[in-house]
Amino acid sequence: MAEVTTSTVKLKHTVTKGHYGYLKVRKLKLLLGASILLLGIIGLMIINWLVFKTNKTWLSIFAALSAIPMAMEFATFFSIVKFKQRPEEEYDEISEIVGNGVMDYEIIVANKDGASFEFPYVYIHESGIYAYSPNPKLDVSATQEYVRNYLRLNQCDGPYTIYTDLRVYKNRLKSLEPSDRDTCDEYLLQQEGIIRAIAT
Interval 52-92: pLDDT, tens? 777 777 788 888 888 999 999 999 899 899 999 999 999 99
pLDDT score of 7 more than 50: no
Per-residue confidence band for 3, with pLDDT thresholds at 50, 70 and 90: very low
Measure Cα distances from 182 to 50, 152, 186, 188 in Å. Answer: 60, 25, 10, 11
pTM > 0.75: yes or no = yes
> In angstroms, rounded to a whole number, what is the distance separating the alpha carbons of residues 98 and 178?
7
Q: How is the chain split into domains, by residue range?
A: 22-80, 88-198
How many Å apart are CA 109 and CA 120, to the nearest integer? 11
Q: Is 2 helix (H, G, I), strand (E, B) or coil?
A: coil
Kind plus residue range of the DSSP H or E element containing 43: helix 22-47
In this predicted structure, what is the pLDDT of residue 57? 77
